[in-house]
């Protein structure tokens, strides 16, 4: 009888009617994570968001994370000597970057000039750095550039006439290094057709890479603006009926008088890009901001805008009676077009931080979108069933 059962099952498998069980391992996505240079680990919120998304939406996929921080962390698969060598290459690249900028002080796209320099000088420190980062990225499938608690991208990369390493508003050599390897990692990911997600600082690096500019949302004022406010009435149906934006030293949504950096629930409709064809009516994601620099106009041709900052061209809100400004707010905040999420080649940039509120409202849809893209790119094609005989 046992022999008969085995024969029948074997026949059914051969005809594709009964699937033979397999021990197939989950699809693994090896990910490079670039944190702020001050940190020795990735943001736990990002770790949680991607692991939750793969568990809930793509259970046949697993993600691993390798930190890239030449200032602190030990790189997986790299010896201590190799790590020290790469940091030294980066430090030696700074004088080359400075020389390029001094030769072209008017440029607002230093990255392009750096690439031209590398082609003309293949033995330079910049060229060696570029190749080392390209090699590092080659064994990974995904790149994440996190937010930063430093100055951010050095202004010599996007402002004309900035030709010094140390600036009056606090930029320094490490900001140059951080910008160099951020741009070069995006170069490598694009050349290798790999997905990139940049949040906050990461979105700014990607925007610079595209030729875009970073700009202040308001002019600097010693001591700040004293928490002047803009009150906005939200659209009907939004679970949060109104919100208050303030300008102190930053543009932010923190409760007045609080000593904490609150990540407020600032709800906005799920962008069509993240919805991926789903009916997104009544779906909301959180957008938190606390910054003075943003992704400003003119918007590069290569950028496909997913959504605009809530206060992009904000005077229209006031004119339409949807917002009320107090104090010096109107006139302090520049009325300009501001991008807060975009597509650029294989990159998705979000100026806000959806990882902080993964479980709130429909914010998880951002990570479902990202892991779905990874799965679509790397999952092996299903083998066609054997034709029934």
Alpha-helix residue ranges (DSSP H) falling in 67-168: 80-103, 110-120, 125-138
Query: Which pLDDT band holds residue 389 (cuts at 50, 70, 90)?
Result: very low
3-state helix, strand, coil in the chain (%, to 5): 35, 20, 45
Cα-Cα-Cα-Cα torsion 91, 93, 96, 100, nearest 10 degrees, comes to -110
User: 37: which 2 tokens?
Assistant: 């240079």
Is the pTM here over 0.85, yes or no?
yes
Domains of the chain are: 26-217+295-309+336-378 (3.40.50.880)
| Closest among 40, 102, 107 to 69, alpha carbons compared | 40
| Closest among 194, 110, 213 to 145, alpha carbons compared | 194
| DSSP assignments along 19-54, one per residue | PPP--PPPEEEEEEEE--TT-SS--HHHHHHHHHHH
Confidence at residue 215, expressed as pLDDT on a 0 to 100 scale: 93
Phi-psi category of 254—alpha, beta or left, where left has phi over 0 and alpha has psi -120 to 50? beta
Q: What value does the mean pLDDT take over residues 190-208?
A: 97
| Closest among 216, 202, 213, 296 to 249, alpha carbons compared | 216
Q: Are 389 and 299 in contact (CB under 8 A)?
A: no
Q: Are 341 and 351 in contact (CB under 8 A)?
A: yes
pLDDT at 20 over 80: no
Q: Tell me whether residue 158 is exposed, middle or buried, using C-beta atoms within 10 angstroms of its C-beta: 0 to 12, 13 to 18, 19 or more.
A: buried
Instruction: State the chain's mean pLDDT as an integer.
Output: 88
**pLDDT per residue over 131-146, tens digit each?**
999 999 999 999 999 9
Alpha-helix residue ranges (DSSP H) falling in 170-238: 173-191, 201-209
In angstroms and rounded to an integer, the radius of gyration of the C-alpha atoms of the chain is: 24
Q: What value does the mean pLDDT take over residues 270-298?
A: 90
pLDDT at 34 over 90: yes
**pLDDT per residue over 353-378, tens digit each?**
999 999 999 999 999 999 999 999 99
286 forms beta bridges with 267
DSSP state of 362: T
Residues 257, 247: Cα–Cα separation, whole Å: 13
Q: What value does the mean pLDDT take over residues 62-75?
A: 89
Q: What value does the mean pLDDT take over residues 262-287?
A: 87
| DSSP assignments along 236-295, one per residue | TT-SS-EEEEEESSSEE-PPTT--S------EEEPPHHHHTTS--TT-EEE---EESEEE
């Amino acid at each position: 009888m046992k022999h008969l059962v085995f024969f029948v099952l074997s026949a059914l498998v051969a005809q594709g009617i009964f699937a033979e069980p397999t021990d197939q391992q989950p699809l693994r996505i090896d990910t490079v994570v670039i944190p702020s240079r001050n940190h020795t680990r990735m943001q736990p919120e990002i770790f949680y968001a991607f692991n939750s998304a793969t568990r809930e939406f793509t259970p046949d996929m697993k993600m691993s994370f390798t930190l890239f921080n030449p200032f602190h962390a030990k790189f997986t698969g790299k010896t201590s000597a190799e790590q020290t060598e790469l940091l030294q290459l980066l430090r030696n690249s700074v004088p080359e970057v400075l020389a390029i900028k001094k030769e072209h002080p008017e440029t607002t796209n230093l990255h392009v000039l750096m690439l031209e320099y590398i082609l003309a000088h293949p033995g330079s420190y910049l060229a060696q750095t570029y190749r080392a980062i390209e090699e590092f990225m080659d064994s990974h499938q995904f790149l994440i550039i996190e937010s930063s608690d430093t100055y951010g991208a050095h202004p010599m990369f996007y402002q004309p006439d900035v030709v010094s390493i140390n600036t009056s508003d606090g930029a320094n050599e490490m900001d140059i290094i951080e910008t160099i390897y951020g741009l070069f990692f995006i170069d490598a990911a694009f050349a290798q057709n790999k997905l990139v997600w940049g949040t906050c600082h990461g979105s700014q690096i990607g925007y610079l890479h595209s030729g875009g500019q970073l700009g202040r949302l308001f002019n600097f004022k010693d001591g700040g603006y004293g928490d002047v406010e803009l009150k906005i009435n939200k659209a009907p149906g939004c679970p949060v009926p109104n919100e208050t934006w303030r300008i102190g030293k930053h543009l932010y949504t923190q409760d007045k008088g609080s000593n904490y950096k609150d990540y407020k629930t600032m709800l906005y409709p799920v962008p069509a890009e993240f919805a991926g064809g789903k009916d997104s009516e009544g779906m909301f994601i959180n957008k938190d901001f606390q910054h003075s620099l943003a992704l400003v106009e003119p918007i590069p041709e290569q950028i496909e805008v997913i959504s605009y900052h809530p206060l992009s061209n904000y005077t229209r809100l006031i004119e339409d009676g949807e917002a009320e400004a107090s104090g010096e707010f109107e006139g302090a905040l520049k009325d300009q077009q501001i991008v807060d999420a975009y597509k650029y080649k294989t990159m998705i940039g979000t100026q806000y931080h959806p990882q902080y509120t993964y479980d709130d409202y429909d914010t998880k849809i951002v990570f479902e979108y990202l892991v779905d893209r990874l799965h679509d790119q790397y999952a092996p094609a299903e083998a066609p069933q054997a034709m029934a005989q």
